Amino acid sequence: MTWIAVLAAAALCFAIKLLGHQVPTDWLARPRAARISGLLTVALLAALVVVQTATSQGRLVIDARLAALGVAAVALWLRAPFLVVVVLAALVAAGIRALAG
């Protein structure tokens, strides 16, 4: 099942990329298409951030992940590189959990 999903998602993502290279440029260059596709990325990523941070098995949960995300936000604000941000968040969450036993 996972393989089917992997291949289907990869095929769809490639088809979307190819579409951009095939269709007449002006159709995709219309302001509305540009606006929506840009905001689509923002909306989905924002939703993924909160779902990954504050939910667990269909419930809202506040735990070490929230503190880790706060530290990640500060690091991003200070213009830290992506990898530093990700590792820092992992360290904070792991540290809190280790201390909490």
Q: How far is the CB of 31 from another protein (least distance, A)?
A: 6
Q: How far is the CB of 47 from another protein (least distance, A)?
A: 4
Let me know the angle formed at the C-alpha of 55 by 53 and 60, rounded to the nearest 5 degrees: 120
Q: Tell me the DSSP string of 24-91.
A: -HHHHTSHHHHHHHHHHHHHHHHHHHHHHHHEETTEE--SHHHHHHHHHHHHHHTT--HHHHHHHHHH
Q: How far is the CB of 61 from another protein (least distance, A)?
A: 10
